[in-house]
A and B are shown apart, each in its own frame.
Chain A
Amino acid sequence: MTAASRGVRAVQGLAWRLRQLLVVAALALALLMLTADRLCASGWPPWLADHLPSGILSMTPPGALPGVYPLAALVLIVIVAYSAYLWLPWLAWLVPVLAAAASIMLVVDLPDALNHSKTATVDLWARIPAALILAMVFAKILLLHRHATWAHARGRAAQPPYRLLPCQQDDVDKLRRLIRDANYDRVLPIQGRQGEGKSFLVQQLKQEWDLDPAAPAVVVVDVWQQQKEADLQAAIFESLLSHPAYMAHLNWLRVPAIFLLERWVTALREARSSLALGPRNSRANFELRFDIPSIQWQRHLERIIAHSKAARGGTVVVLDELDRAAPAVTQAALTLARRSVAISNVTVIIPYVHAQVRYKVFNPMQTVLPDLASSMDAVLYDDRFGRQVAGDVDTGSAETVLEFWDDLRSKFSVERRNLSSSSSDDSGEHQLSAPEGAQKSAANVFSRRNREDQPLAHLDGFLGKPPVGADALAMALRFGVFAAAPWPRRERLQRLFEEKYLSPAGIIVRPPGPKDLAAMVTTHFPSLARLACALLSPAPATDQPAQANLSTVGDAVQQGLGNWLTMKDKLVRPPIRALLGILHENLSMANSLAEERHVSLSPQQVATIVLAAYDAASLAYGAGGGTA
């Protein structure tokens, strides 16, 4: 460390201390003012006021202006509140306490302040609006307390920054460019396999940009932790509002006070029911239906983002852990990303595993949210009925929607009969029967083919509870078009489903290559480097493994893996997480054996173990979790 940098550090430390002192002073002053107000205005508490020297009491301002001290204290608290959470988090609990005390004193003192002459009683008329206004301010302080303490806790729990591998560095650079590219779609998918480091990339970007006031504010929302769509919206808000850019410069005052009750409102809305009034055991009840208004998330979101000047570089919302969440939440996250969050000056990043998202979201056989379902049904409808050639128009040969539905019903009724005849337990009460005359030879052929091709398990659900109305058509499309489609057609349908929600992946996370593997075992992961170093032959002079040999290991690993990947050109490169695990296992075991056998290895031999770990990770995990 140079003298200059030591000097800079010392100045920074001094500034830090100075800020802390200022915050302490402000809080102390607020406390002093509140105490002074109580002592002078009402001689409370008597045990203190009675024992104070009369000189001190006479030094206080006259009681002609009651409430001035609490008001000044409250203003002071509001001004330093965020700084207190930022610089003195251990003392920040004083903020809501002092604010509450100041608010109460203001409400108590307000009538006296407004009514010097005591000519009219204004107690209630002054106190009610004051109490309401102060309650709103206090709610915002409580919200600040919630968001700031949460942000502080998350900051402490954040992983220490790792050095990026060469392949990851390229990906982060690309991500940075795409976010700043105003012409790029505001929903930015990052595709990769499980354990490939997608979340790691955005966390690295967040850590980098959190230190840069001019950079966009990066907000990471853990979708996995949410249970419902409403939870997800609340989580997005909480994550957004707990970002320093949205708290600093009194921005926290813009947060609607109702957000203090957001979870309660949501819970109450879901628990809403009809209230029955009337005599016990009587049928003549009076039923009262009531509805709790929902929070206008979208309006608030747009307003907060539009009015917030703090996040000058824009805002990046990362919907992380998307593919680990329940299907309903994953679907909600993807639809919210397009429908709600992707507004001006906001970029939504969606790290995802393609196969997982296909199964959980773009799968008509799943229970899906209405907007997703209708979009997919529309694609299926168009595929089935919207692609007739011109020659079919008015010829009477094209199949109608009704004929299609009848064919399907016939098919399932045949299936059902077969199932009934083969199973004595089946009561058959849910049988679907085709309308008279609807049986067509084509339908019979279709049913025969399907009987051979599809297992009976497919009948569960669809046959068990026959749908009606619009549901019937939707089910017919899903089972008759999607489920029966062969692979190339199903792939096309799947792509059409995804088209509106997922733009093509902006970034496909790259698996580690030769350079990355060499970096992993030599420089970027100290635990691996220690294990590799311990295997090497000791240097003659020091009787310690020569550090220079470690760079030779890196060279051998890079060269060896390059050769190996040329020879095995079909080998699918592994995800980083799996590779790390196997590398640790193999190098640890090699160390144990080397110690036991008193054997040391050359750099090329250590490289062989590293190569074998890479190879094993590739064979075991390379092909899983989507495309590499």
Chain B
Amino acid sequence: MSGPDGGIHPDEDARVRKEPEQASIISQFALPIYRPTQAEQYAGRVREMWVSAGNEPPGPDSGDSGAWDLVMATVSSNISLIGAALADPISQADAGLPGDARTVQLLVSAAAEQLTAETAPLFISGTLASTVERLQQDIGRTEEVTRERITDIVVQGLEPLRGNQRVVPLIPPLLGYLDADRRPRRIGIYQTVGLVAQLMTGLDDRQSRLMRIFIYHYALMGVWHLLQEPTVPFDNAARQVLSVAAGNAGNNLWVILPDRVLGAGGADVVRTLRTILAATVRDLPVQENRAAELLSALGLEHSKPRAALTVLDELGTLAGPWTEDAADMARIESSSAVTALAAESAVHQVPARLFNAAVSLQRLAEPDAPGSLRARMLLYTLGMRWAFNLGADLPDALFRLDGLDCAAGFLRALRQYQEEGHIQQQQQWTSVLGLASALSQVPRLVPRGSPALAARLRNLADSAERVRIPGAASVTAMNLRELGELTDVTEAAIDALRPSGNTPQLQDLLLDTATVLRGAFEETLSQARFGLSDMVDSAIELRNHPREEFLKAYQPFIEPAASGLGTGPPVAAGAASADEWQTMASIMLRDPGSLVPALRQV
């Protein structure tokens, strides 16, 4: 996921999680098949016609149950006439799932786990649509079936299509359907709203990002109004919704801004959103003393170590709005890699964060200076360290965990180092050049897979070929049969690159990583002072009263109150016009009456 600035954007790393306890249960279920009767199929069809003719969706709470029953009794006589024809257009995948809403939710989760982006549409347009059709009839009849729950079920069913363009047409009906839920609002519904937005994670076009910002704004605005009531607690659920929505809205807004620099228009709006994230997000699950130990190793000691670690974790994910100083940016980004490891929350992003930090160093005043290049090499090798340690196998380490990008970056930096003539004594560099030699063998060890992956591997081989590797440092493919052997070569290179006086602590790789990072910035780059420490301090301070901070910080985006929708962050940031925002609102908040037609179209 390389961004336009060469870095890797950790897009929407924070996710809403609802009822996580289901995960262990759903694997016990196989995908069941239920074929509805012709009468049930026809009832669903008539229901769609009922809504098409301008009636409120039928149900006991609609006030039209007598009329609905009469219409159904009337047109049921048509089934004998159209039975065969009726079955045909609906029959392709028309099985519905049995049971109550909770059972259905488990079954849909189970089904979604078994499906892929290719097989899911049949399930969604058939089984899921039929199931939703049945459940919709129970809205109002039983407490457990609500629009919110049905949306939860649908979102789970759509999980195989996450990041797929096919999911986009479903987003407006989902939000519109949820918006029309007339029950008193609770925080849970905004968790569902967040889930809807995250179905589009991975879609990088402007329109998709704007849609996501709109949905996150909808959630933030909803929670803002809820929190006006003092009796509503600012609990973990509220924190989760706010931090996810504000953080992700800030991320997406930053990407669609015309100029992504500290002083550019709109950066202040991004900072506000990211500040809300830092103020409201729950503390990382790290012991205070461990947090203090890690901060000390990083050279960023603080009196509230866990809070500091939490703030570093969030702000380091997107440092651009806060600073233009390359060293500070790289330092906070690399620190966020340490915090992610400490919290064990987003460890798959660790190599990417280190890679981003290395890329940020290219903006130093003298990027070709030996210290700068050594620091970059160090960050890349640390990225490889964690990719190889966390990866299940070599392809996993290289592709899923971004080890390949780190390796390519390392080779480029090493070649530049050689070309600048900084290597005086070949002897000291044997381990580093050995890593380059080992990386040149990697393309032979990995199955090529898709053409895109094959091209990336070819680039790696090309980069490796440009590095001059003496015979003594050569590593053959025969020595690299296992991932562990590549890890050893990487560790040797880190030892060779680490600052003098910095001794390896292989028993605690995380602490060692933090120590190496400190050395890289303070000694190799001679940047003893961390320029963002004041900003971190103030963010930590805001965490003492997050509710008030959120209500105050987000109020400008709610206003004018009469609009109902508020200005919204993109309009305030100049990334979208007011008309565009209103058009989006009219599309996204229109009640479709039923989710079935949209699901059938998938």
Contact = CB atoms under 8 A, between A and B. Distances in A.
Given A557-B53, A611-B53, A619 B70 contact: no
A593 to B, nearest CB: 5
A604 interface: yes
A593 B597 contact: no
Given A605-B67, A613-B78, A616-B78, A559 B53 contact: yes
Nearest to B45: A615
A599 B49 contact: no
Contacts of A611: 49, 52-53
B71 A619 contact: no
Contacts of B73: 593
Contacts of A612: 46, 49, 71, 74-75, 78
B597 A567 contact: yes
A567 B89 CA distance: 13
Interface residue tally of chain A, by bracket?
Answer: 20 to 34
A607 B78 contact: no
Interface string A595-628: 0010101101101110111011001100100000
Interface of B: 45-46, 48-50, 52-55, 64, 66-68, 70-71, 73-75, 77-78, 81-82, 85-86, 89, 597
Interface stretch (A249-257, A323-331, A494-502, A583-591): A583-591
Select the residue from A560, A607, A615 with max chain B CB neighbours within 10 A: A615
Interface in A568-598: 568, 570, 582, 585-586, 589-590, 593-594, 597
Given A608-B46, A608-B50, A619 B85 contact: yes
A585 B55 contact: no
B64 to A, nearest CB: 7
Contacts of A623: 85
A623 B88 CA distance: 13
A586 B49 contact: no
Contacts of A604: 53-55
A241 interface: no
A605 B78 CA distance: 17
Contacts of B46: 608, 612
Given A556-B54, A608-B49, A582 B81 contact: yes
A563 B53 CA distance: 8
Contacts of B49: 560, 564, 608, 611-612, 615
B65 to A, nearest CB: 10
A602 B55 CA distance: 9
Contacts of B77: 585-586, 589
Given A560-B53, A567-B48, A620 B85 contact: yes
Contact of A616 (B53, B64, B82): B82
Given A586-B75, A609-B75, A559 B54 contact: yes
A616 B45 CA distance: 11
Nearest to B55: A604
Interface string A364-379: 0000000000000000
B86 A619 contact: yes
B53 A556 contact: yes
Given A564-B49, A608-B49, A620-B82, A593 B55 contact: no
Given A605-B64, A620-B85, A594 B52 contact: no
B76 to A, nearest CB: 9
Given A585-B77, A589-B74, A620-B81, 19 more contacts: A560-B52, A560-B53, A563-B53, A564-B52, A568-B89, A570-B89, A586-B77, A590-B74, A597-B66, A601-B70, A602-B67, A605-B64, A607-B54, A608-B55, A608-B71, A612-B46, A615-B45, A616-B78, A619-B86
B74 A616 contact: no
Nearest to A591: B74
Nearest to B89: A570
B89 A599 contact: no
A589 B78 CA distance: 11
Contacts of A599: 66-67, 70
A605 B58 CA distance: 11
Interface class of chain A by DSSP: helix
Contact of A601 (B67, B75, B86, B597): B67
B90 to A, nearest CB: 11
A110 B451 CA distance: 113
A32 B288 CA distance: 135
10 contacts: A559-B54, A563-B53, A585-B77, A586-B78, A594-B70, A605-B67, A605-B71, A608-B46, A615-B78, A620-B85
A549 B574 CA distance: 49
A594 B73 CA distance: 10
Contacts of B81: 582, 616, 620
Nearest to B52: A563
The 7 closest A-B pairs by CB, nearest first: A560-B53, A616-B78, A619-B85, A612-B75, A563-B52, A607-B53, A619-B82
A588 to B, nearest CB: 9
Select the residue from A557, A609, A613 with max chain B CB neighbours within 10 A: A609
A608 B75 CA distance: 9
Contacts of B78: 582, 586, 612-613, 615-616
B52 to A, nearest CB: 4
A236 B76 CA distance: 48
Nearest to A537: B67
Contacts of A585: 77
Contacts of B52: 560-561, 563-564, 567, 611
Contacts of B82: 616, 619-620
A586 B53 contact: no
Select the residue from B49, B68, B85, B89 with max chain A CB neighbours within 10 A: B49
A476 B52 CA distance: 57
A604 B51 CA distance: 9
A82 B448 CA distance: 97
B121 to A, nearest CB: 17
A434 to B, nearest CB: 47
Contacts of A616: 75, 78, 81-82
A602 B58 CA distance: 13
A82 B75 CA distance: 55
B475 to A, nearest CB: 62
Select the residue from B52, B67, B597 with max chain A CB neighbours within 10 A: B52
B142 to A, nearest CB: 25
A601 B52 CA distance: 16
Contacts of B70: 590, 593-594, 597, 599, 601, 605
Contacts of B68: 605
Select the residue from B53, B54, B597 with max chain A CB neighbours within 10 A: B53
A597 to B, nearest CB: 6
B315 to A, nearest CB: 48
B525 to A, nearest CB: 62
B66 A609 contact: no
